[in-house]
Amino acid sequence: QTIPELVNWAREREFSLNLPTERLAFLLAIAIYNNERIDGEMLETDLVDIFRHISNAFDQSAETISTRANNAINELVKQRFLNRFSSEFTEGLSIYRLTPLGV
């Protein structure tokens, strides 16, 4: 896509960003990880592992990683950086994909 197309796309959808540094780092790490994926799909366990690396880099407590990772994932879904869906092939586990905004 061209820059004018991307600008128009963001303007039409009225996107805004509200991410603390930790969340931005998490989103960037997800984007890098996603580039290595063939299908562009990630499991929640993948995202929690990525969050663990970010949490360690920010010297945050390892005891609350699961809860904080879940909150961070939900926030990225709410802000339309990630799409969440499930598939019969994953037996009820959530699958995540970066949205065009997340990319």
- d(CA 84, CA 99) in angstroms, rounded, equals 10
Tens digit of each residue's pLDDT (9 = 90 or more) over 7-38: 787 788 776 677 888 998 999 999 999 888 88
Tens digit of each residue's pLDDT (9 = 90 or more) over 43-98: 999 999 999 999 999 999 889 999 999 999 999 999 889 999 987 776 778 899 98
CATH number at residue 27: 1.10.10.10
How close are the terminal C-alpha atoms of the chain, in Å? 12
Give the pLDDT of residue 11. Answer: 80
- d(CA 83, CA 71) in angstroms, rounded, equals 15
Give the pLDDT of residue 17. Answer: 74
With respect to residue 13, please indicate whether it lies within any of the assigned structural domains.
no
- d(CA 68, CA 63) in angstroms, rounded, equals 10
With respect to residue 35, please indicate whether it lies within any of the assigned structural domains.
yes
With respect to residue 1, please indicate whether it lies within any of the assigned structural domains.
no
In total, how many domains does the chain have? 1
With respect to residue 3, please indicate whether it lies within any of the assigned structural domains.
no
Range of the structural domain that residue 53 is part of: 19-98
**27 close to 19: Cβ distance less than 8 angstroms:** yes
